[in-house]
Amino acid sequence: MPFPVDPAVILPFLAAVALMELTPGPNMGWLALVSLSQGRAAGLAAVAGITLGLTLWMVAAAFGLTEAVLLWPALYQAIRWAGVGFLLWLAWDAWRSAGGGASDAPVQMRRRALFRRGLIGNLLNPKAALLYVVLLPGFIRPAQGSTLAQALTLGALHILVSVVVHATK
């Protein structure tokens, strides 16, 4: 079985997703804080949640989310505003945690809570939505064969890059 992705798009795609993953965003700052305050295992629990979120975005895009967004612009707006709401919640949570306590000790979160926050955070992360709804379709070549296989393969490559970037911080 031949490789489903046009070899000419692999390096440009990897460069684009590496640049996106290395660009600071809500995940990177939060992961650094979690890893520094609670240790590597806690950071990896958060990375696992983020990775599941990316996987869900990838599957949704592979099975038609991009087409749905093009057909229903209100869906894109809903995704966008959910992301704005999440960023505001992160800001509120950081402000509340920094100013309200008598102690300077960071709050310890259970690994399950870190996983859940990573998952929800990535489902509402504007960068993840942008990547899977806007960027990924530009690298799919219908003449190459199954667009589903291409989307899943490129998505898996993105997830691999994401794990390498986030797990090695």
> What is the DSSP secondary structure assignment for residue 64, as one 8-state letter?
T
The whole-number pLDDT of residue 1 equals 63
CB-based burial, 79-91: b 16+ in 10 Å, e otherwise: beeebeebbeebe
- The pTM of the full predicted model, rounded to 2 decimals, is 0.81
**Beta carbons of 121 and 27 less than 8 angstroms apart:** yes
Mind listing the pLDDT tens digit for each residue in 133-164?
889 999 999 999 899 999 999 999 999 999 99
* pLDDT given at position 126: 77
Q: pLDDT per residue over 84-134, tens digit each? A: 887 788 778 767 766 655 444 455 678 999 999 999 988 888 788 888 888
